[in-house]
Structure 1
């Protein structure tokens, strides 16, 4: 008999997988476009009024800079406006990666163009109008510094994915939600975890089987810390779970002696990182990263150009200007390669590391079941999807059982569970 289940726990849920700073990054990118466009118009108009071809050329260069920013800004705006569009099966979180990939291609083309021009000028040096070129390079550098300042300061972390049942998807800075312990007793199967989502940390216990019925008076937890200190925790009824009446003091590394229906069980809790950037979850906003790289690359080229022009003017080394351009081209090409590699991997659903898969395996193993298939991929900054196939002999370990456990894992925002019996595989 095939006893296959394939249904998400939430019957009605959203697919909004945008980064936490999405709206703020969108506004910053449009601000940079306004700045670059103003500078572009000033240089082109000024160049025509004063007969400066160098000013016109730099203005045209600034237009390509604004165009690259426009790709990022439009991606932010489109992703936000269509975040709830059902045509996007897994939301619009990957539009940032697509925009970043496109920007990286443009960067690579700019690097090739600068490199080609530098080689041509090394082979055939041309006269340089230092009085015009140096001030323009300085102004360009100042504009890029201002643009970098506008784009900086973003902590492109993911945000929690809201579920229709109102269950918390723990993304707190100090989160133990992914460390859940399954406890099997004569009174049923329960899950014990530490809950800390904008509140003081407390123990929570959920019943995982329909026959499990536990009153607060039948449960206690005694923590035993490495130095031997013990603390007893009592519980109170809260909706469909029990919660400790006393907060858990830091640190959260201890052995917990759990008394359930007169049975005593021992489980271990480990201290987790206090900063989300240390949990191995990729929260990078590659769209903002690409925009920032564009600005920094332009600033680097401006710095190298100023150095090359000053040396060429002081010592007559005309070759210094194209040499500086060649070095700049190599730097830009390196940054472009990094962007193409990372955004391309996300677009092709390459799993970035084993952090989330290892947590899923640990949960399945702790339940005493067998994991036969697992797919984890990035949906957007800080958001990951997972398809989990499990073989179990426990009639109570259905999709809902694993949804309750897996939705506590920080970073897993969309989970589909298949549960098989041994006869169905």
Structure 2
């Protein structure tokens, strides 16, 4: 049995956590169905193009399944006291893994495209265009499922507001930037991009004879996907390594400025979508109480877990 505690819960899941779980699960099922259909059709018709695209879809289905698993794990262990600051960062871990998978996809696409540029091969334009069109339709449907329509509302089970004896307080607000959902969305966009570029290049090859454009668009697509992968890796790794949120740190410094208060030490890091923790050590005159200092920080909605150390200057 997992350890639980009702005294001091640290639940920092996004307000749309459960809805995003369902959205991503539907995308996994849609992608898996398309994958299975292409592989079966490929074997029945002997089409290598169908088989190749089917196994390509399998890599995306696997990456998307990681996103679903992260949502389920984070919810299931939300009250597990083994996680000091809750499971709000599990989505960032899944996003990091997905970014690595995207990087691998971009390398594979780029290498194959460069090989085909050097050694052109015959292309069955009609069949390839049909496959790319079907894939694009699936990706558009998936993108619509993952598209965000507002931030939703907090779940009653996650709402809590209490103060610890060391000066900490917890506040629940709307959902913030969900890197797990973002990673799933980027996988869908990457597939859609390759489909669009492929359709354009195949049409040019079919009607204009520009067979070289197909592998060239593969190189372009690989470069764009690599850029998306790098952006996602940079953002998720910063969260996993508890990099200081400079913007929030400046807001904390600004809020505590005045009344002779001096910040001696400050640590600010993200613990979930729209949820940050801070450890603040200040020196202030005796007339400035710890309660007054916490009230100054109350307007910072992203600050969900605050540890405040107050020394008399």
Please, what TM-score do these two structures have when normalized by structure 2?
0.89
**Contact kept? 1:392, 1:420, Cα under 8 Å:** yes
Which residue of structure 2 aligns with residue 385 of structure 1?
277
Distance in 1 (alpha carbons) for counterparts of 2:138 and 2:33: 10
1:307 equivalenced with 2:200 (yes/no): yes
Distance in 2 (alpha carbons) for counterparts of 1:342 and 1:43: 34
1:149 equivalenced with 2:144 (yes/no): yes
- 1:49 CA displacement: 2.0
Which residue of structure 2 aligns with residue 68 of structure 1?
63
Number of residue equivalences: 301
**Contact kept? 1:157, 1:284, Cα under 8 Å:** no
Residue pairs, 1:186-265, within 5 angstroms: none
For residue 342 of structure 1, give the secondary structure of its aligned residue in structure 2: helix
- 1:78 CA displacement: 0.5
1:286 equivalenced with 2:179 (yes/no): yes
Pair 1:119–1:168, CA change in 2 (3 A): closer
- 1:116 CA displacement: 0.5
Distance in 2 (alpha carbons) for counterparts of 1:376 and 1:158: 25
For residue 91 of structure 1, give the secondary structure of its aligned residue in structure 2: coil
Which residue of structure 2 aligns with residue 349 of structure 1?
242
Pair 1:125–1:378, CA change in 2 (3 A): same
Distance in 2 (alpha carbons) for counterparts of 1:331 and 1:32: 22
For residue 182 of structure 2, give the secondary structure of its aligned residue in structure 1: helix
Pair 1:287–1:155, CA change in 2 (3 A): farther
Residue pairs, 1:390-405, within 5 angstroms: 390-394=282-286, 397-398=289-290, 400-405=291-296
- 1:394 CA displacement: 0.7
**Contact kept? 2:98, 2:183, Cα under 8 Å:** yes
Which residue of structure 2 aligns with residue 126 of structure 1?
121
Higher helix share: 2
Residue pairs, 1:174-185, within 5 angstroms: none
Distance in 2 (alpha carbons) for counterparts of 1:150 and 1:374: 40
Distance in 1 (alpha carbons) for counterparts of 2:55 and 2:173: 45
**Contact kept? 2:88, 2:273, Cα under 8 Å:** yes
Please, what TM-score do these two structures have when normalized by structure 1?
0.66
- 1:123 CA displacement: 0.5
Which residue of structure 1 aligns with residue 225 of structure 2?
332
CA-atom RMSD in angstroms: 2.4
Which residue of structure 1 aligns with residue 86 of structure 2?
91
- 1:357 CA displacement: 2.2
Which residue of structure 2 aligns with residue 418 of structure 1?
309
**Contact kept? 1:156, 1:381, Cα under 8 Å:** no
Distance in 2 (alpha carbons) for counterparts of 1:416 and 1:104: 33
Which residue of structure 2 aligns with residue 162 of structure 1?
160
Which residue of structure 1 aligns with residue 250 of structure 2?
358
Higher strand share: 1
